[in-house]
Copies of this chain bind each other. A is one copy, B any other.
């Protein structure tokens, strides 16, 4: 990496750290559990958020921040479920940062659970703390069964690792056990969930984890 890049990166990450701290303090003060949902394009992030809203919206208040480079499709999909949602476009940047989230965070002081859907890739979001309490990383078996091994950094910091579309594993010749083993080796503390959202597999396990998380703050 060139010198100018190193210097710029240092400044950007210092600023990000400060704003992430402010976001976190705001969320904790208001008892909001924020979850940074990361994963490649098409891994199922938006559908997971949509299905979770439908399962829980009668019992708790949910908000969502939807990050994307340029589009607003994910925001529109989620907003249709009648919850408070905000789109965040990053322009050419490949990740959300604490500064962008800071612009909208105050609108979410009254929710119990806040999903922050990051921009779709497994590389850029790693270094950018947004002020969230938990990190969820979602991959699909269609990305190839070496996808976990190839991106250790993002999995290392995850609280939950979701391996989605397991029903398609045979069709794409992916070995789900290998993906789970890679995830366990990289991050032995993470909760690993085998999922297929369209078939309903693993969704109950995900809700169970969410319920524990919500209870842990005294709900």
Contact of A144 among B15, B41, B124, B144 (CB under 8 A): B41
- Is the C-beta of A110 less than 8 angstroms from some C-beta in chain B? no
Q: How many Å lie between the Cα of A166 and that of B100 in the bound state? A: 36
Q: Can you list, as one digit per residue, whether each of A169-187 has a CB less than 8 Å from chain B (1) or not (0)?
A: 0011100000000000000
Does the CB pair B150–A70 fall under 8 Å? yes
- Is the C-beta of A5 less than 8 angstroms from some C-beta in chain B? yes
- Is the C-beta of A210 less than 8 angstroms from some C-beta in chain B? no
Q: How many Å lie between the Cα of A219 and that of B92 in the bound state? A: 39
Does the CB pair B121–A94 fall under 8 Å? yes
- Is the C-beta of A20 less than 8 angstroms from some C-beta in chain B? no
Does the CB pair A144–B92 fall under 8 Å? no
- Is the C-beta of A40 less than 8 angstroms from some C-beta in chain B? yes
Given contacts A4-B8, A150-B71, A152-B70, is CB(A92)–CB(B41) below 8 Å? no
A contact set with B: CB distance below 8 Å: 1-2, 4-5, 7-8, 11-12, 15, 40-42, 68-71, 73, 91-94, 119-124, 126-127, 140, 142-144, 146-147, 149-153, 165, 168, 171-173, 198
List 10 tightest A-B contacts by C-beta distance, closest first: A42-B143, A8-B8, A142-B142, A121-B121, A94-B123, A71-B150, A42-B144, A41-B143, A94-B124, A40-B41
